Chains A and B, each alone.
Chain A
Amino acid sequence: MILHGADDVLKLDASAVDYGLVALYFVFVLGIGLLARRQVSTSLDFFLSGRSLPAWVTGLAFISANLGAVEIMGMSANGAQIGMATMHYYWIGAVPAMLFLGVVMMPFYYGSKVRSVPEFMRRRFGTGAHLTNAISFAVAQLLIAGVNLYLLATIVNALLGWPLWVSLIAAGAVVLTYTALGGLSAAIYNEVLQFFVIVAALTPLTIAGLHRVGGIGGLVDQVEAGPAGDTMLSSWPGEALTGFDSPVWSVIGIVMGLGFVLSFGYWTTNFVEVQRAMASNSMSAARSAPIIGSFPKMFIPFIIVIPGIIASVLVPQITQLKEGQGDGSVTYNDAILLLIRDLLPNGMLGIAIAGLLASFMAGMAANISAFNTVFSYDIWQQYVRKDKPDNYYTSVGRVATVVATVVAIFTALLASGYSNLMDYLQTLFGFFNAPLFATFILGMFWKRMTSTAGWAGLASGTIGAVLVAVLSEDALGPLSIGAIPLSGQGASFVAAGAAFVVDIVVSVLVTFATQPKPEKELRGLVYSLTPREDRVDPDEHLLPWYRRPTRLAGISLVLVVALNIIFH
């Protein structure tokens, strides 16, 4: 996602009232940081909110942490470009994995009292897999925080005309202030606030857009009359998404590649997400967090993807782009910004700018709060300074937050010069993620799986994914040689699939050749060695239905299937 430099096309006509509404938002953000500081007395308070938050808060933070610049700009761009098939990123590529995390995996994460996902890795497989996982995760977070910050700065530059370096430092300073003061509580509370402001900005935008095109019927008519025709209106088989010619393979690619390997790898093992659920106040709340999050997650595309589709018929620049007559002044990534420019009056405009800035900052804050936890607990405490008093690690976390922010600012500056490089680096770190789900799921359900199998499976899975990417047409840019005819999303689905299969095969083979860990060390980490009372709240049957994770997951699953049928 590259946004062009300062260009007057996107310049918004913000008034004093709009600036006032944005400023008010910043007062709230910093106020939350100051208030949250008063609740920090142990390192667990700082890194995991003292495991004290209710499920609806951690559930909203769970999806909000992901609702950053890449998501809002990128998914509305997909909506403008390929239409309803974009819904798969939510209904197939997120909701099932979130439900799986809550129902199946969270009992092990929360019940074993680990403080991070890499720490689970260390308890289950020892230090070999742990060190690699902790370092690759920490470095990837710095990189992504930098990319988020860069996007934020380019958007502030385009919308308000601030120079790049001013917005980089201003945004960096705001994020630093509240995460260093209040730790995870401040980050989570801001994510919840951000969620409501984004919804308050994008819902009226969608309604105004629909009103302008003549309602849903008018939108359907205009899209059908457009260059892409009615392929934009159906989500299945989604060839535009996968880049596959065959509809059958496209469906298989979406279900297995996006729905299974990629999304399960991301949602169930990414500590940025899991950390939010770990901050919950009880086992049933921790399990409910991703499940509660799945409800807004399945409906939020209606105010992100649909505006993209509306922009494709309503905004002249995007319409020209679709007809292949764009003059290069805008890209699909600008779709939602152009719609905001054309539809929102002053007042609403201020709320929309506040919402966008909020979401971009929250994305960066999420990366930084996950980074400082993994750095302090998994790298510093484990390998550098072991037996210090607890408040020492809180200080380490604060220092790590400062350093991470400075690094992110420099990464953002680097990204402004070499944006392709950033894309490839992100793809590369994706390869470390691809096999994680295979190792976790085997490790949780197969007590014999050995420590050696843990790191060997991860390493070979990563190599498998890199190999597919190199052989594909464009997954790694100039490094790809084009030996197999795969490109775009299709290539990353196949790469992730290869990582999964190779990881499983290698893990199984290595396990039979090596010695398993003693069973007493695996209690709480492996299904068959964890008594039921460790996995489920003993009084869960006393809770009302809306607080019982499995009931909620069932309702969510029915709803997401219904959405797929209605909008096929």
Chain B
Amino acid sequence: MSSDEKSPSESIRQSADAQDARAVRAFDIRTIVGVLLGIYGVVIFIMGLTASDADLEMDAGFNLNLWTGVALIVVSAGFLIWVRLRPLVVPRPGADADEAHLE
């Protein structure tokens, strides 16, 4: 039951050395979502560009891969810009614990 009374960020503070700080940044879920959607977007965008006429026939003349690719790349860029503009503040030992939170 000892963990019960512990303030939420104490454990983060204890383990916040420089190495962990990097890990936290890489572990920002916004980076992960942005990178995965970005790779998906680029791959299907290329598939859309190289689609044969037969492929387009199946889509009834509407290049689904191409346009979804564009949309995914835009969303991905949005996530990565968000991470840049509002980076995760990694707490230093003794720093105000509230800064540990993602905004």
* A interface, CB within 8 angstroms of B: 17, 20-21, 24-25, 28, 31-32, 35-36, 38-39, 41-45, 50-54, 57, 113, 115, 189, 192-193, 196-197, 200, 204, 207-208, 211-212, 281-282, 285, 343-348, 351, 381, 390
- Specify which of B11, B102, B103 is in contact with A44 (CB 8 Å cutoff): B11
State the majority secondary structure of interface residues on B: helix
A42 touches B6 (CB 8 A): yes
Chain A residues with CB under 8 A of B72: 200
* B interface, CB within 8 angstroms of A: 1-6, 8-9, 11-12, 14-15, 20, 23-24, 26-27, 29, 32-33, 36-37, 39-40, 43-44, 47-48, 51, 55, 58-60, 62, 64-65, 67-68, 71-72, 75, 100-103
16 sampled A-B residue pairs with Cβ under 8 A: A24-B36, A25-B36, A35-B26, A50-B12, A57-B102, A115-B4, A193-B29, A196-B75, A197-B36, A197-B37, A281-B8, A281-B9, A345-B51, A345-B55, A347-B43, A351-B40
Chain B residues with CB under 8 A of A390: 2-3
B64 touches A196 (CB 8 A): no
A345 touches B12 (CB 8 A): no
Chain A residues with CB under 8 A of B64: 204, 207-208, 343-345, 348
For B58, give the chain A residue with the smallest CB separation.
A345
Given known A208-B62, A351-B44, contact A196–B37 (CB-CB < 8 A): yes
In Å, the complex CA distance between A478 and B73 comes to 53
A17 touches B59 (CB 8 A): no
In Å, the complex CA distance between A41 and B102 comes to 19
Extra contacts, 7 of them, besides A17-B43, A41-B15 (Cβ < 8 A), are A20-B43, A24-B36, A25-B36, A28-B32, A38-B23, A41-B14, A52-B101
- Specify which of A52, A53, A282, A347 is in contact with B48 (CB 8 Å cutoff): A347
B23 touches A347 (CB 8 A): no
In Å, the complex CA distance between A381 and B5 comes to 16
Given known A24-B36, A189-B32, A192-B29, contact A211–B60 (CB-CB < 8 A): yes
In Å, the complex CA distance between A57 and B36 comes to 17
A193 touches B47 (CB 8 A): no
Chain B residues with CB under 8 A of A348: 44, 64-65, 68
- Specify which of B4, B32, B62, B75 is in contact with A193 (CB 8 Å cutoff): B32
Chain B residues with CB under 8 A of A54: 101-103
For B62, give the chain A residue with the smallest CB separation.
A211
- Specify which of A36, A38, A51, A347 is in contact with B44 (CB 8 Å cutoff): A347
Q: Which of B14, B51, B102 has the most CB of A within 10 A?
A: B102
Given known A208-B64, A212-B60, contact A50–B8 (CB-CB < 8 A): yes
A28 touches B40 (CB 8 A): no
A45 touches B11 (CB 8 A): yes
In Å, the complex CA distance between A57 and B3 comes to 23
Q: Give min CB distance, A293 to chain B, whole Å.
A: 15
For B68, give the chain A residue with the smallest CB separation.
A204
In Å, the complex CA distance between A204 and B2 comes to 49
In Å, the complex CA distance between A193 and B103 comes to 18
In Å, the complex CA distance between A41 and B12 comes to 9
For A185, give the chain B residue with the smallest CB separation.
B27
Given known A52-B100, A347-B44, contact A35–B23 (CB-CB < 8 A): yes
Chain A residues with CB under 8 A of B43: 17, 20-21, 347
